[in-house]
Amino acid sequence: MKRTLPRSLSVIMGRRAQTAVLGVATAAIIGGLGIGIANAPDASTSAATTATGASAVAAAPAAAPGKPAAQPAKPAKPAVKKAVKKAPATKNLRHQAKLQTTYYYCGPAATRIALSAHMKTPPAQSTIAKQLGTTTDGTNSAYDITRVLNKMLKTKRYHTTMIAGPKASAKQVEQLRKDVVVSINGGDPVVANIAGTVWDTAGEKHSYNGGHYLSVVGYSNHGKTVKIADSADTVGRNTYKLPVTKLANWIASRGYSS
């Protein structure tokens, strides 16, 4: 003879079975979401502009074992400076022109001059030298100058322009003239990496066959003549003027930060 469970008990057991099934399903869904979140790549990466013209990206946080590492973010592009619609024919920036403290500190000294247009008390040349990676062999390239200027000014206002070849083309000369006018009107001295010998507008000779860094702190004649602040000029004046064509050819095979 079969025993028949009371109707109320059957209902209760049925409800418990349904609850158990729902509990398993819910756990599976939550577990799936947890796996998805755990496997999501960490997007917190950082980008930094490095020396010698290459753009290196800071390493992303290490991924858990057995999981794909997060892809590094692309380096941020520097802001493009807008052309000045009505730039004055002549403009000079206030700056602190100090001689370099060692024979190989032209890079840090030129960078400090550029920073002095923005800061009342710029960092010491030795502090800037550490950021640039300057050694007794000097500072590698204009890319280092750009990187450190942007870092210390906490902005992306500077970018690097290279003049390839032993002589600047007419297009490159004109680009330099425009860059000088735009940068100076934006309050930014231009830092140039040069090599060779030139005579300035006053007839003084400036010779740096092994390479040198200097700052452009002003211009006249709509940028066709530039004003140089030279941290190594201990014999003549610390500032002198050059036709922009001479400066472009002085930079040739190197670059400048503007």
- Do residues 147 and 255 lie in contact, with contact meaning Cβ atoms separated by under 8 Å? no
Dihedral sign, Cα of residue 12, residue 17, residue 23, residue 29: negative
Q: Find the range with the poorest average confidence among 51-55, 192-196, 254-258.
A: 51-55
The pLDDT value recorded for residue 25 is 39
53: pLDDT strictly greater than 80: no
Q: Could you read off the pLDDT of 90-119 as tens digits, one per residue?
A: 999 999 989 999 999 999 999 999 999 999
**91-257 has which fold?**
Cathepsin B; Chain A (3.90.70)
Q: How confident is the model at residue 82 (pLDDT cuts 50, 70, 90)?
A: low
Work out the average pLDDT over 158-187. Answer: 97
Domain ranges of the chain: 91-257
Work out the average pLDDT over 138-157. Answer: 97
- Do residues 103 and 213 lie in contact, with contact meaning Cβ atoms separated by under 8 Å? no
